[in-house]
Every structure is written in C-alpha cells, then in structure tokens.
Amino acid sequence: MRDELIGVLCIESDRSYRFHEEDRAYLEVLGGYLAIAIQNALLAERGDEPCESAPPSAERRETPAPNAPPSHATARSRSQLEIAYYQRDECVLVGGEYLVRSVPAKILRKVLTENRHDGRIEFTNRQLRLDPSLGLPEWKDNLESRLILLRRRLAERCPAIQLAPSGRGRFRLALGADFTLTEHP
C-alpha cells in the first residue's frame, strides 16, 4: 500500500503567508496518520488485518530502545557532527545543512548544551516548559508537537541524534556520533 494515494488534505487561509515551515511539518505528520487510519478502515471493510506501519511518507528507521543508553562506539569509529545554532535566525544547521528553526531549534540547542556541559541524557517535558530561554507561551505551548517535529527532522536529516521517549513526559538523548556545537549571534 506504500506509494498509493489515499486522500488529499487541503488547508487554506484567507491571509497571505499564513502558513510556515512548522505548519507544513505538522500537517505532514497529521496526513500520515490520517492515511494509516483510512487504510485500516478500508482493510477492515475487506476483512483484512489492520496495518501497523508508519505513515506512508516516513521511512522505516531503527530507533534506540526507550531505555537504551547511547551507542558506545569508540571515539575513533564515531563520526563528528558540526552543529551550528544561529541565535538571530533561531535555526540549527548540521554540517552546513538546515535542520530546524524556532522553538525546536532552541530545544535541540538546550539538550545538546546540557549534554556537553553536564553529560546529561535524560530530560523531562516539565523542565523544558519551565525554561524561559525557550520562549514558550504560558498557555497552550504545544511542546509535544514541537518535540514530534524535532524528532522527525532528526530522523530524516540527522539520524545520529535521537530524542527517544523514556517514559511519560520524559525523553532520552541518544548520540550515534560526537558533535561540536557552535553558537553564532
């Protein structure tokens, strides 16, 4: 059933430039899950087993187990990631290629900075919500949506860094490569 058109999701606005890159990413995730739900409904009508696959647009990637520590490869065999955070644009580039911007970029910067300084790999959503440097609104912060976007971007463009759920409201940083984080104004 992959590479098969299941439906079309159309989102419109009367305002010009209303939607941004983050909006597109959220809608892609939503569209993938809607496609799975529609496929399962069609299969149920025919009496087949429901599909348990990922969204049609997502590639299957192995992610670390929720409680598994990051890979312990030797420093010689691990690759080196060049990660740059640009404060003015609030964006992160990995190896000179755009990864993510806005709040997800700030979250990644915070997690990587704390890992570099303290060796931390365990984080909670609550800690992120209470951190004023992330600029989350006091009400309806959509933190989970932003984490989903960040996880998805990392899986697509930088699989050596993963944010794996490790419990309710918790996640773990899993690094498959060494990194240098540079910050630019």
119-170: pLDDT as tens digits: 999 999 999 988 888 888 776 668 888 899 999 999 999 999 999 988 888 9
| pLDDT at position 3 | 58
In this structure, are residues 24 and 13 in contact, taking their beta carbons and an 8 Å threshold?
no
**Mean pLDDT value across residues 67-78:** 46
Q: Is residue 156 part of a domain?
A: yes
The whole domain housing 84 covers 80-184
Residue 70 included in any domain: no
Q: 55 and 86, same structural domain? A: no
pLDDT tens-digit map of 115-124:
999 999 999 9
Structure confidence at residue 64 as a pLDDT band (50, 70, 90): very low
Residues 6+ apart with CB under 8 A from 176: 70, 71, 73, 78, 159, 160, 161, 162
pLDDT at 100 over 90: yes
Q: How many independent structural domains does the chain possess? A: 2
